[in-house]
Structure 1
Amino acid sequence: MSNRKMVLGREVCLIIFLVFTTIRSEENLALSKAASQSSDIGNGRWPASGAVDGCEETDVFSDCCSHTDIRVSKTAWWRVDLGQISTIDTIRIVYRDNFQQRLAGYQLYVSNTTTLPTDGVLCYEDTSSTNSSVQLVVTHQCPYVGRYVTVYNYRNNPKRYNWYSDDALLELCEVQVFGCPVGMYGNGDCNQVCPASCYGRNCNSKTGSCIYCIQGKYGNTCENDCSTNCKDSLCSNESGFCFECIHGKFGNACDQVCSVSCKEGFCAKDTGYCHGCVDGKFGNSCGQQCSVNCKDRLCAKYTGYCNNECIIGKHGENCDQDCSVNCRDRCTRDNATCIECITGKHGETCDKDCPMNCENNVCVRTTGLCNGCIAGRYGVTCSLTCPVTCKDFICNQQTGHCLDCYPGKYGVVCGADCPDKCTDNICSKDNGRCLTTGSRNTEQSSADSNMIIIAVLATVCGLQLAALITTVIYHLRYRQKRKNSSNTGTDIKEEQSVPDTGYTSISPRQEETSHVYEMVVT
């Protein structure tokens, strides 16, 4: 009877096993594949291949398990090479019975490289807080694409929990990786081809549904076209909603048009709100007009407040208040302070009068001090009178010192007399010294006078020299005539018959009339 029950029990188990394997659509990709581990124990009695041999006995002494060396280090790893890049669905782990403290804290990785034990993506990490909560037979969802599956364990110092084993080791009795090679799915032997619209021809190993779609497609098997208004023709695999819209469109399918008042035609995909507004507009969809008092009609997108400045004569957040009538054109937007005042005014709002003696009635806006004073006045407000001794009644605005003095006076207020010895009673304003150099015209006149004197002296000397020469000639002629008279009486008579002119011609030309100077000498 007991033997019959045992046979019946085995048959039930066999039926359950057959049912399980029949409904599973993908295959165990790890079965009998190449496996390796960080260390071995027991002279190779428990190699890495013990976890991919199809035996699920959990008694390590059944020789169906793998086992790393307990004495090696604080880290341990086991890895299986699936032989090709595969689409993984689930990973099932069967661990040595009753050794939760050794498995606790393990990690599960899927990768395409083997440089480090922790290469690739982390599929699962055990964070059980009690020994009893660690599952020794467990299946993990691990929907990744890769070639290698790695089980990794470590022990920090201090350990995460006191009940953890002191050393890291792995005692895996079976590791099963269910899925299909990339591009295939279903029917236990993965003999169906994934749809062509699946990105990389990669699909779910059970259902054949695409994990990702090629550009422009969506749907379970990527059989539908994304909207032409989707940017780069990209949309959600499941819903077909666009990730982004082309310029000027919004909505899930990007089939709605952004407001014409949106700056450069851009708006938010979900709401249609403009990213910015064209000049003169504000609001979520830029449908409202900025105030005409905003300079250049520019205002904040959400509040409508003027951006920077107001038009001439206005102030306030919305530029709806008037500047003071005494402002010269503009005032500050926030506190209505005038930038400049009209002539004769000063103060923040230009409501105060400039001092009456300011030159041209102009003073500093902030202080009210005069820029310059009228003639005869000095001081910061031009309220003081210049000394009457100043020439033209003009003095320095700050000190009151005369700028110039009348002839005969000198000093800071022109109160001292120039020395009597000064020519024309003129002296230096600063120290009273006589001024001896004249103007350029005076120097020229002096030079002209000297030239006249020289010319007169030269003329007089010339006349005197001419008179001397005439006298000498006269006497010589006279002596010669007397000598001739003594020798010939006829000659005397002839000479006597000639009128005595006072001189004798010495050239054959007609004799000239006697020179006046010669007449004087004769």
Structure 2
Amino acid sequence: MATGKVIWGRGVILILFIVYQGIRSEQNVALSKPSEQSSDQGRPDLVASKVVDGCLDRKMDNGCCTHTQGSGPKTAWWRVDMKELMTINSITITYTNTVERRDRLAGYHLYISNTTSTPQDGTLCYVDTSSTIDEVQLVVTHQCPFVGRYVTVYNYRTEPLRQSWYYQYALLELCELQVWGCPSACYGGNCNSTTGACFYCFTGTYGDFCNMTCPANCKDNACEKDTGTCVETDIYSKSGLFCCISNARDQMQNVTKRWISIISDLSSSYIVRRLEFITNFVRIKRSGFLR
């Protein structure tokens, strides 16, 4: 009996783990998005867009990588514009597979930002601090739990070099950059890893990508995520199915206010006139006309 309970318990743990993994899935939100870089090598097959084309081939001559200018620059950068704010979980960098070029990638910085005034705008997610050339990873995933629109890979070279084994010029030979996350409209930053559709929406929005607004007559602005149907209807809403009830209620309130005002005015007038009558009566009686 004890063994059976242990096996059943493991099964529950496994199921919970699978469900959790499914909820936490993300997609590559940088795929096929606009990109740019500080300079070009000159070859039409080594351009910035190659880094977000979905190709993971790391051979420089196979048309899946980019290459900034090789001789002279002291700074180099590459950037992708995801076109909207994204809830980012992690970023995977794939560099060309020539081992001798580790000295070129070494020392790079990874930024997430909402502006592009400088290559170093935004939040620094990662900086390579490898002390030896063998420590530089050419395919690596960095955890970057931030919200932003732009991702920038930046590198620079100074005199003297930060490490003696660094390549003397700043250049980038990226083959792919994948940003794993979801549109920021997704509640909790959770979406389908294949379609990018949100699992949950913030209150007031609905749709696959949570980009539609719930009807105005929904109570507490809450509606079904898939259909937009109100979870509960506000019968006093001024729009939608119950607009007439709401308008009638408002009209009745206005009429009531007017009658209260009229009655108040009449009451005031009656009281004044009554006081005037009493005052005149007393005055006449004192004069001797009334015995």
State the TM-score, normalized to the length of structure 2. Answer: 0.58
Q: Aligned residue for 2:95?
A: 95
Give the Å deviation of 1:181: 0.5
Q: Aligned residue for 2:39?
A: 39
1 or 2 for the larger relative contact order (CA 8 Å, sep ≥6)?
2
Q: Work out whether 1:129 is the aligned partner of 2:135.
A: no
Which amino acid letter does the alignment assign opposite residue 42 of structure 1?
Answer: G
3-state SS of paired residue (2:112): strand
Q: Aligned residue for 2:197?
A: 191
1:113 to 112, 115, 118: 115
Q: Aligned residue for 2:16?
A: none
Give the Å deviation of 1:63: 1.3
Runs of 4+ in 1 over 4 A off after TM superposition: none
Give the Å deviation of 1:150: 0.1
Q: Distance in 2 between matches of 1:187 and 1:174?
A: 21
Check whether the contact 1:183–1:193 (CA below 8 A) recurs between aligned residues. Answer: no
3-state SS of paired residue (2:172): coil
Which amino acid letter does the alignment assign opposite residue 25 of structure 1?
Answer: S
Which amino acid letter does the alignment assign opposite residue 156 of structure 2?
Answer: Y
Q: Aligned residue for 2:154?
A: 152
Q: 1:295-444 alignment to 2 at 5 Å?
A: none
Which amino acid letter does the alignment assign opposite residue 48 of structure 1?
Answer: A
Give the Å deviation of 1:191: 1.8
Check whether the contact 1:50–1:174 (CA below 8 A) recurs between aligned residues. Answer: yes
Q: Work out whether 1:59 is the aligned partner of 2:64.
A: no
Q: Once the two structures are superposed, what CA deviation does each residue of 1:345-381 show, in whole Å capped at 9, x if it has no partner?
A: xxxxxxxxxxxxxxxxxxxxxxxxxxxxxxxxxxxxx
Check whether the contact 1:31–1:52 (CA below 8 A) recurs between aligned residues. Answer: yes
Give the Å deviation of 1:187: 2.1
3-state SS of paired residue (2:103): helix
3-state SS of paired residue (2:42): coil
Give the Å deviation of 1:51: 0.6
Check whether the contact 1:26–1:179 (CA below 8 A) recurs between aligned residues. Answer: yes
Q: Distance in 2 between matches of 1:151 and 1:192?
A: 28
Q: Aligned residue for 1:28?
A: 28
Which amino acid letter does the alignment assign opposite residue 156 of structure 1?
Answer: T
Q: Alpha carbons of 1:174 and 1:24: their partners in 2 closer, same or farther (altered >3 Å)?
A: farther
Deviates more, 1:71-80 or 1:121-130: 71-80
5+ long unaligned stretches in structure 1: 1-21, 202-522
Q: Aligned residue for 1:164?
A: 166
Q: Alpha carbons of 1:183 and 1:194: their partners in 2 closer, same or farther (altered >3 Å)?
A: farther
Q: Work out whether 1:70 is the aligned partner of 2:70.
A: yes
Which amino acid letter does the alignment assign opposite residue 192 of structure 1?
Answer: C
3-state SS of paired residue (1:168): coil
Check whether the contact 2:23–2:199 (CA below 8 A) recurs between aligned residues. Answer: no
Give the Å deviation of 1:119: 0.3
Give the Å deviation of 1:23: 9.5
Give the Å deviation of 1:195: 5.4
Q: Distance in 1 between matches of 2:76 and 2:147?
A: 24
3-state SS of paired residue (2:87): strand
Check whether the contact 2:77–2:155 (CA below 8 A) recurs between aligned residues. Answer: yes
The structure having more radius of gyration, on CA atoms, is: 1
3-state SS of paired residue (1:25): coil
Check whether the contact 1:39–1:72 (CA below 8 A) recurs between aligned residues. Answer: no
Q: Distance in 2 between matches of 1:196 and 1:23?
A: 16
Q: Aligned residue for 1:181?
A: 183
Give the Å deviation of 1:43: 3.2
Q: Distance in 2 between matches of 1:23 and 1:174?
A: 26
Q: Distance in 2 between matches of 1:31 and 1:192?
A: 17
Give the Å deviation of 1:194: 4.1
Which amino acid letter does the alignment assign opposite residue 115 of structure 2?
Answer: T
Q: Distance in 1 between matches of 2:202 and 2:56?
A: 38
Check whether the contact 2:39–2:68 (CA below 8 A) recurs between aligned residues. Answer: yes
Which amino acid letter does the alignment assign opposite residue 76 of structure 1?
Answer: A
* Bigger proportion of residues as helix: 2
Check whether the contact 1:183–1:194 (CA below 8 A) recurs between aligned residues. Answer: no
Percent identity between the two aligned chains: 54
3-state SS of paired residue (1:71): coil
Deviates more, 1:24-33 or 1:62-71: 24-33
Q: Distance in 2 between matches of 1:57 and 1:24?
A: 27
Q: 1:132-281 alignment to 2 at 5 Å?
A: 132-184=134-186, 185-188=190-193, 189-192=195-198, 194=200, 196=202
Give the Å deviation of 1:24: 7.6
Give the Å deviation of 1:58: 1.0
Q: Once the two structures are superposed, what CA deviation does each residue of 1:366-422 show, in whole Å capped at 9, x if it has no partner?
A: xxxxxxxxxxxxxxxxxxxxxxxxxxxxxxxxxxxxxxxxxxxxxxxxxxxxxxxxx
Paired positions, count: 180
Q: Once the two structures are superposed, what CA deviation does each residue of 1:247-283 show, in whole Å capped at 9, x if it has no partner?
A: xxxxxxxxxxxxxxxxxxxxxxxxxxxxxxxxxxxxx
Give the Å deviation of 1:75: 0.2
Q: Distance in 2 between matches of 1:34 and 1:58?
A: 21
Give the Å deviation of 1:42: 2.9
